[in-house]
Amino acid sequence: MDVGMQLAELCKTGEEAKGLETLYSQDVVSVEALAMGEAGREAVGIEALKGKHDWWFSANVVHSSKVGGPFFFGDDKFALTFAMDATDKASGERSQMTEIGIYTVSDGKIVREEFFYGV
């Protein structure tokens, strides 16, 4: 539960990069519902996950975001909800997005995250 509470707080305060350094396994697997740029759907390893975060923030302007949760499932899983208002820098298209992140924890570190998108 502690990892879920910490990640939720870091996301709510815009410090998700700090969470990458402290809460994630070096071998983390991150899976998106759709391909993220040229990287595809899956990022394996902490450096790939950092690259995914860098790509997102370089490709988008985030106007506002809200984080809900955590919602716990047993001792090894939790979920967060995300709502964002962002503009794609390349197209100039502004959109509102919602998603659910499901996180799996082992030995006190996040080892897997999966994202489900709302339409």
List the chain domain ranges. 2-117
pTM: 0.92
CA torsion sign, 89 to 93 to 94 to 95?
negative
Q: What's the pLDDT score for residue 29? A: 98
Provide the pairing of β-strand 60-73 with 42-44.
unpaired
- The C-alpha atoms of residue 35 and residue 52 are separated, in whole angstroms, by 11
Nearest to 51 by CA among 62, 39, 61, 63: 39
What is the SS3 assignment for 101? Answer: strand
**pLDDT > 90: what percent of the chain?**
86
Residue 12: name the closest of 55, 56, 70 by CA.
Answer: 70
2-117 adopts what CATH topology?
A: Nuclear Transport Factor 2; Chain: A, (3.10.450)
* Digit-coded pLDDT (tens) for 40-64: 899 999 999 999 999 889 999 999 9
pLDDT of residue 39 exceeding 80, the answer is: no
Task: Classify residue 34 by its DSSP letter.
Answer: S
pLDDT at 62: 94
Considering the chain, what percentage of its residues have pLDDT values greater than 70? 97
Give the tens place of pLDDT for each residue, 70-94. 999 999 999 999 999 999 999 999 9
pLDDT of residue 79: 99
